Amino acid sequence: MKLEQLLLLSSCAFLFSPAALAVPADARATPQRTREIETAERVRQHYATIQAAVAVDRLALDAEQARSLLAIAAEAQKVRADHEQELAAVIERQWTAFSTFLKEGEADRGFSPQVEQETAQANEAEKNLRLRFFEQLNVLAARAHEVLSAQQDFLIEQTPRPESWLREELAAEPRPTGETKKFVKRLGQLSDRDIDESLPELIGDLRDLGLTGGRRVLSPEEREVVRSYLGDLRRLPRAEAAERLAELKSGLGSRKGECDARSELHEIARQKHGGTDALGLLLAEPAFAGVLARRAGERPPKCSGQAVDPVVAALVQDVRRDINLVNLMNGMHFDQEQIAALLEVAPDGARGRQDEMECAEALADLEGALAAVAQDLCAGREPARAALRHCVDAAQDARMKETARKGAGRHARKKARGQELTPAQEAAALLTDSQRQVLIDYKACLIPPQNLKDPVRAGQANTHEPQARALKELRKIPVRVFLQQAPEIANALLERIEQHHGRFPGDEREEALRKTLELALRARCMDDATFAIEQEELATALAELNREEALIEELQDERGGDEVVLCDKTRDFLLDPAMRPLLEARFEQLENFRPEPTTDLDATEGAPSCKDGKCAIDG
């Protein structure tokens, strides 16, 4: 980045000032990884700047509004800075706790209670900070909404994300990317019959080109549309076909269903983990205050530098990912043979480094491209089309490279057993049926469950313990209170469920409430012994009032059911490049396994026993 760009951007946003950063001494990344993280952080900031500039332009604020909004944004920046200050300390704590926890996980000899506790607390601390931050931010967002007219409110909510905005700006003049051209070339070599036979794979490719709204499986009608479309396409001259495909930016097939489920899940996550709306997000970004100030001809509000070192934050995320992977590896109980076979399929180290390099290059290219556009927008200039195109192409390229790196290359197909299998399919084929089932159901978790009711320890516990606890609490409510307030109590219980698992839409809520009340009544009518026996069933029924679970299932079905989910999870977890070193270490560990030396029982204190007829324990 050129110096002038840096200066201009500094007036829009706050680039981090390293002096303010607290860095744990042992939290170091390789120079290459450090560069990558820092570049990614700048990319994020450029996007934020673009988003802020676009939003401010759309809003066309009057002077009064601009002043009010700027004042609120300045307050938000104070809140953000305070939050980051605290967050930095928590992240430091997480670094220490998570690193120790990871080491214990790698040893696979169980977790010591203190280490487990510290890990849980460090995790919880961040969650609580985040919830509080969003709570404060949302108060400011509510005030900011009052400043805006209804129409401006609508505009803010409709402002596309910067990636989409860049694409839309270019929409009038779409241009095929390298990947589009490659796809068209391959398509040209297929017959209509080939298209029929390999339609699912072609749809997968279209998905990677961003044309199916993220879906790999389409409805029969949609498939028919795609089939005939591809048939027409392959008959066109290659260049024209590529143009046609590039123009198809709105996508094939309707994405409504999936978007609904996705956005609902997004809303649930927001409830659970804290979140805010579009205006809140803008307020949280230093760039927004910067752009507002600049437009108003004022200096951007003073604000302390960035407290959280993005490198440390990213390293903590890496450790968290490694913990997830180690937990999965431990829970799957791979034997040496499986590990060796998985390592055959997993991207090798050299390939991994090559992928990493390519990713870094793509990211650097994207950063430069975004910096230029952000600079123009900040200055109130219309960015050149070429600059926009550079951004869009570089973003696409970076995304593809990242996908290739993470997914061990969906496109790098291997011949195996006379069939064309993707590496994910190959890896999934190495698993036993029960391992496959575990992976399909797998939900990443930091601390693996210790539930004796179920020896499966991979991912989040499959238990209705919280629901059973809720029912137990419900049974403790005094009769008179319950009789007077049964509907309110049931409603409060349902609200608690909704807080964790998503709100029921209006028409479904009444039914959910009726069911909750019925379960509450049933749980209360039982004596202790009957409840002990029935509680699992009642808790299961209560657990079914889980909007989130239903939505996830809906999405999974839409993605193509268990087989597709299995392949996706195999790719995302077992073939994650970070898994390789873990598998290698586990192989070594198993290879060098020696049992513990035998304990000398004579030297141990021993259990109490009943000797010489002296058996009475009291009296």
Partner 1 sequence: MSRRARQLPDPGRRGLLGLGLSSAALALLGPAGRALAALEGRAAGPIEVDPRFWKKLPGEKTQCFICPLDCVLEAGQTCFCRTRTNHEGELFCHAYSNPCTLSVDAVEKLPLNHFLPGEQTLSIAFGGCNLRCLYCQNWAQSQSKPDDLKTYDYPPERALEAVVKKDIRAIAYTYTEPVVFFEYVRDVSALARQRGVKNVCATAAFIEVEPVKELCRTIDAFCVALKGFSDKFYDKVCGSQLKPILRAIEAIRAAGPWLEIVNLVLPSYNDSQAEIKKLCHWIRLELGVKTPLHFARFTPEYRMRDLPPTPVKTLEQCREIARDEGLEHVYILNVSPHDANQTYCPRCGKVLIKRLGFDVLENQLKNGACPYCSSALPGVWA
Interface ranges with partner 1 (CB under 8 A): 108-110, 113, 332-333, 335, 432-435, 437-438, 450, 452-456, 527-530, 532-533, 536-537, 590, 593, 595-599, 601-602, 604, 606-610, 613, 615-619
Q: At closest approach, how far in Å is the CB of 595 from partner 1?
A: 6
Nearer to partner 1, 307 or 438 (CB): 438
Q: At closest approach, how far in Å is the CB of 613 from partner 1?
A: 5
What is the end-to-end Cα distance of the chain in Å, rounded? Answer: 86
> How far apart (Å, rounded) are the C-alpha atoms in residues 119 and 126?
11
Nearer to partner 1, 128 or 432 (CB): 432
Residue 232, both tokens? 């027409």
Nearer to partner 1, 503 or 569 (CB): 569
Q: At closest approach, how far in Å is the CB of 619 from partner 1?
A: 4
Q: At closest approach, how far in Å is the CB of 441 from partner 1?
A: 9
* Strand, helix or coil for residue 438: helix
* 220 to 224, 249, 302: CA distances (angstroms): 6, 21, 57
> How far apart (Å, rounded) are the C-alpha atoms in residues 543 and 540?
5
List of E strands, 481-525: none
**Buried b / exposed e across 455-473, counting CB within 10 Å, b at 16+?**
ebbbbebeebeebbebbee
Nearer to partner 1, 297 or 597 (CB): 597
The Cα diameter of the chain in Å comes to 100
> How far apart (Å, rounded) are the C-alpha atoms in residues 158 and 164?
12
Residue 402, both tokens? 């990242």
User: Is residue 295 classed exposed, middle or buried when 0-12, 13-18 and 19+ CB atoms within 10 A define those classes?
Assistant: middle
Q: Residue 611's beta-bridge partner residues? A: 614
Q: At closest approach, how far in Å is the CB of 539 from partner 1?
A: 12
Ramachandran region, residue 274 (left: φ > 0; alpha: ψ -120 to 50; beta: rest): left
Nearer to partner 1, 423 or 448 (CB): 448
Nearer to partner 1, 116 or 126 (CB): 116
> Are the CB atoms for 94 and 123 separated by under 8 Å?
yes
Nearer to partner 1, 315 or 438 (CB): 438
* 43 to 18, 40, 249, 274, 480: CA distances (angstroms): 18, 5, 24, 24, 60
Nearer to partner 1, 391 or 538 (CB): 538
Residue 243's Cα: distance from chain center in Å?
A: 33
Crossing angle between the packed helical segments 3-12 and 349-378, to the nearest 10 degrees: 70
Name residue 359's amino acid: C
Residue 52, both tokens? 């802020």
* 216 to 202, 205, 414, 573: CA distances (angstroms): 9, 9, 20, 19
Q: At closest approach, how far in Å is the CB of 508 from partner 1?
A: 30
Q: At closest approach, how far in Å is the CB of 400 from partner 1?
A: 34
Nearer to partner 1, 158 or 599 (CB): 599
Q: At closest approach, how far in Å is the CB of 141 from partner 1?
A: 45
Q: At closest approach, how far in Å is the CB of 454 from partner 1?
A: 5
**Buried b / exposed e across 46-79, counting CB within 10 Å, b at 16+?**
bbbbbbbbbbbeebebeeebbebbbbbbbbbbbb
Q: At closest approach, how far in Å is the CB of 432 from partner 1?
A: 6
Q: At closest approach, how far in Å is the CB of 594 from partner 1?
A: 10
Nearer to partner 1, 63 or 616 (CB): 616
* 73 to 69, 189, 303: CA distances (angstroms): 6, 56, 11
Nearer to partner 1, 164 or 451 (CB): 451
